[in-house]
A and B are shown apart, each in its own frame.
Chain A
Amino acid sequence: MNNNFFNIIDIINKKDKKNGLLWSIIITWLNFPFLYWGVSTDNPIIIGLGIIIAAVGIGFTLYFG
């Protein structure tokens, strides 16, 4: 992890694989409790939002992987 880690635009532009994949891991794991809350309470809005965030994680993986 370096200073560039927080500059997501730069990471995307430079297609920085290491930091990009690290973000994909972080997004996926941060989404875990959120999505889990959604399925535990059977709340379709939270589940829907969680799936959208998961899709962003997939997008990151497909782009940087």
Chain B
Amino acid sequence: MGYELNLMYFILTLLPIIAVLTLIMVLKWSGGKSGAFSWFLAIIIGYFVFGADLQLIAVASLKGLWTTIFILYIIWGAMALYNIVNKIDGFTVIAHTFTGLTGNTKVLQLLVISWGFVALLQGVAGFGTPVAVAAPLLVGLGFNPIIATSSALLGRAWAVTFGSLGSSYGALLKMTNLDPGGLSFWSSIFLTIVCIVTGLSISYLYNGKKGLKKGAPASLAIAGGMGCTLIIVANLVLPYIASLVSGLVGMIIGTLILPRTGWYNNHLAKSREKVHNMSFYTAFAPYLILLILAFGIYLTPIKSILSGFKVGLPFPRTETTMGVVNQATSSYSPISIFTTPGTMVFLSVLISLIYFKLKGLWKKNYGIEVFNSLLKQAIPSTVTVMTMSMMSVVMMETGMTALLAKETANIASGVFPIASPFIGILGAFMTGSNTSSNIVFAAFQRDVAMFLGINSLVISALQTTGGAIGTAISPMSVALGTGVTNIAGREGEIIKRIIIYVIIMGLSVGIPAYVLLYYFGV
């Protein structure tokens, strides 16, 4: 960058982010309206202060919009999936079964679904799918939509780096060129710490101190199982499937072991009676189909055959008058049509519809009713995702995001390991993705670590951990959650509720890393 960093630039760069947070959390504007305003603000600052021309702004906005196709594909599919199950009253059956399995202990149900099940889904499908699937499932089980969405967002974060079959971890390797063994070691250690904090956070989020007291044994047992599995699989087996296996272990501990222990078994016998003629497998079929498709495609050679069909748009080179260059690309953010998670979700919708029709559960008028409710639910989230994505790409391509990170590193150079996860969080907040956060900031964080003479493996691992944590409060992810739980427009409440846990998670890895680096010379 050809300009001097100063406080004025720093403040101006912060303005769109401050605007998003203030409008959503203080003025209680909807995500879409706040995103539209902040996008406009980013354009004005980018044009008048950072020397972006109209072409750069247009290209950045188009890139942002293009990226949303991928996300919207999942959102609309997941909402359709939820509405289909809801229409046939499947959630009554699912709720009853989960109640039986988890001993009617609500906090255990919440932990199993928003944490273990979500990690399992994150391991295979990833991206927004786990939140989009688990949050409405929890609402169907009788949880408050705010609690359901917040828990699913928090419960997913720790599993993101090694989830989606390791796409964020892959980006970390690619961007830093550091030793893969060292990166997976430190990342798995930090993510395990986050995993422990996550379980306790969800318990506290559910019902304050009472929830924490009731949920602590389960949180520690599940976190112990999932954390150890994550470290073992990431370091000794294959990092790319670490979240998947950990989620599976978490589900087993939460449904098969814990309900039979002294902490939770007193409620086990209460919910055995049958509530519906439909079996659990019929009601849960759309989600089982999704899991089978995801496993069948992502974990077999079919993926490499199908992933060849990609669609990406070429974009020209752009440059600001301050020297920030965005190279021309022949295929920006290509979408692999057949293997993208949205396709899995829509395929599940299609197969489920046929299955329910064959079972005689799908009535004639259901289609139009589901379509209408889908439209009502999906529109606000769609607008939020579109505007937020365009804002973040405008900020990136005008050089504002890089400046923000650079200045943060300058200000926090003495305590950089503590600031490091927060830079990752910032990246994920802006882009809605751990992978994108790593693409934007991983090399930068490695360079700062080298400049400061501290272990760049630890700092790079803190970057991806922060990136994973940050996905919980990214407006795009939050909008996805509020959309599927039918509380669109209440994004501010969610962010307000979970931001403290995100900060605690950031500190829970930043402080130990600081101590290790500066006091133990790691």
Contacts of B30 in A (CB 8 A): 65
Q: Is the CB of B65 within 8 A of A32?
A: yes
A-B pairs under 8 A by CB, number: 67
Assess the B39–A21 pair: CB atoms within 8 A.
Answer: no
Stretch at the interface among B55-63, B222-230, B237-245, B412-420: B55-63
Contact partner of A24 among B55, B65, B314, B383, CB < 8 A?
B383
Asked whether B255 is an interface residue with its Cβ less than 8 Å from the other chain, the reply is no
User: Is B375 part of the contact surface with A, judged by Cβ < 8 Å?
Assistant: yes
Q: Cβ of A65 and Cβ of B65 under 8 Å apart?
A: no
Find chain A residues with CB under 8 A from B29 CB. 65
In the bound assembly, the distance between CA atoms of A34 and B62 in angstroms comes to: 11
Known: A42-B316, A61-B387, A65-B29. Is A25-B382 also a contact (CB below 8 A)?
yes
Given contacts A1-B375, A28-B386, contact A38 B58 (CB under 8 A): yes
A61 x B33 contact (CB < 8 A): yes
> B interface, by DSSP: helix, strand, loop or mixed?
helix
Chain A proximity mask over B361-392: 1 for CB below 8 Å, otherwise 0: 00000000000000110011011001100000
Contact: A61 with B36, CB < 8 Å? yes
B305 CB to closest chain A CB (Å) equals 30
Q: Restricting to B59-96, which residues have a CB under 8 Å from any CB of A?
A: 59, 61-62, 65
CB distance from A17 to the nearest CB of B (A): 8
Contacts of A29 in B (CB 8 A): 65
Q: Mark B291-324, 1 if CB is under 8 A from A, else 0.
A: 0000000000000000000000111100000000
Given contacts A21-B380, A65-B30, contact A47 B37 (CB under 8 A): no
Nearest CB of chain B from residue A56's CB, rounded to whole Å:
12
- Decide if B18 is an interface residue (CB 8 Å cutoff): no
Q: Are A65 and B54 in contact (CB under 8 A)?
A: no
8 Å CB contacts to A: which residues of B30-62?
A: 30, 32-33, 35-37, 39-40, 54-55, 57-59, 61-62
Q: Mark A9-47, 1 if CB is under 8 A from B, else 0.
A: 000000000100110110011001001101110101001
Task: Say whether, besides A21-B379, A40-B316, A65 and B59 are in contact (CB < 8 Å).
Answer: no
What separation, in Å, do the CA atoms of A17 and B244 have in the docked complex? 40
Cβ proximity bits B410-437 to A, threshold 8 Å, 1 near / 0 not:
0000000000000000000000000000
B376:A18 contact, CB within 8 angstroms? yes
Q: Do B315 and A22 touch (CB < 8 A)? A: no
Contacts of A21 in B (CB 8 A): 32, 379-380, 383
| A49–B97 CA distance with the chains assembled, in angstroms | 56
B383 touches A39 (CB 8 A): no
Q: Is A51 engaged at the interface, CB distance under 8 Å to the other chain?
A: yes
Residue of A nearest to B382 (CB): A25
Name the interface residues of B4-46: CB closer than 8 Å to any CB of A: 29-30, 32-33, 35-37, 39-40
User: How many angstroms from the CA of A1 to the CA of B368 in the assembled complex?
Assistant: 11
With A36-B313, A39-B316 as known contacts, state yes or no: A65 contacts B383, CB within 8 Å. Answer: yes
Q: Please give, as numbers and ranges, the residues of chain B lying within 8 Å of A44 by CB-CB distance.
A: 54-55
Docked CA distance A63–B142 (Å): 34
Query: 21 A–B contact pairs at CB < 8 A?
Result: A18-B375, A18-B379, A21-B379, A21-B380, A22-B375, A24-B383, A25-B386, A32-B62, A35-B62, A39-B55, A39-B58, A39-B315, A42-B55, A47-B54, A47-B55, A58-B40, A65-B29, A65-B30, A65-B33, A65-B380, A65-B383
Please provide the 5 A-B residue pairs with the shortest distance between their CB atoms, ordered closest to farther.
A65-B33, A61-B36, A65-B32, A58-B36, A21-B379
